Amino acid sequence: MGRIVFIWTVTLTIVAAVAVTAVEAFSSPRLVEATGHTGLDQVRITADATVSALEEGGLVPGARYGYSFKVTNAGKTPVDDMTVRSEKAIGGRAGSGLGAYAVQGGQCKIGDRVECVVAGLDPGETREFTVEAESAGSRAEGDELRIRTYLGRFAPDAGGDLNFEVAARAETGGCFRAPTGASRGAPTASAPASD
């Protein structure tokens, strides 16, 4: 498979949410396709196919939305030392961050993306995480929202840089609609953005 590489800058997000275990500034290692045995062959990740609007009016620009992802040990032995990383694909009016403000289900860092540590997953056990986020107000009707959730492990490369080796992935999406009362069919200055 091809090699996926994303380079991130350090971002500080301040939020007030009871369900959040940790909110920190964090830079992120590059995402790379796992090339060898990661020890995660027996672990599966699934995610909601679409986001759910958390307020009336549906998925509109500036609205709050939620989605869940699950990590399952489908093998016969316990698995430890995994991380799940969930982030918005970047593009157009989408902005660069997920806009997450709360996560339930485990030990997670939130901000422009969500990183959750999954420690000690027994055979047959499933752990579910629920994310709440706010979309960018600059979004427009027809814009797509795509969130990619990766399961993997952190590992240094030959040069000593820390990478996130991706063993599995899932995708969540949605399509923005016009806010209630917005005029439909009005000309727009730019084409719909895709995350």
pLDDT in tens, 33-70: 555 545 688 899 999 999 999 998 899 988 999 999 99
Token pair recorded at residue 161: 């840089």
Strands 126-134 vs 100-104: parallel, antiparallel or unpaired: antiparallel
Structure-model confidence comparison of residues 188 and 2, the more confident one: 2
List Cβ neighbours of 191 (8 Å cut-off, separation of 6 or more). none
| Range of weakest confidence among 15-19, 134-138, 151-155, 191-195 | 15-19
Q: CA 64 to CA 20: how far, in whole Å?
A: 16
Considering Cα of 160, then 27, then 84, then 175, what sign does the dihedral take?
negative
Grouping H, G, I as helix, E, B as strand and the rest as coil, residue 107 is strand
Task: Kindly list the structural domains of the chain, giving each domain's residue range(s) and its CATH number in brackets, ordered by start.
Answer: 42-151+169-175 (2.60.40.1290)
Does residue 101 have a pLDDT over 80? yes
Give the burial class of 185: count Cβ atoms within 10 A of its Cβ; 0-12 exposed, 13-18 middle, 19 or more buried: exposed
pTM of the model: 0.72
Give residue 149's pLDDT band: very low, low, confident or very high (50, 70, 90).
very high
Give me the pLDDT at residue 3, please. Answer: 43
CB 170 within 8 A of CB 71: no
pLDDT of residue 95: 59
Q: How far apart are CA 102 and CA 161, in angstroms?
A: 30
Degrees, nearest 5: CA angle 171-91-98: 55
171 pLDDT higher than 80: yes
| 143 vs 65, more confident | 65
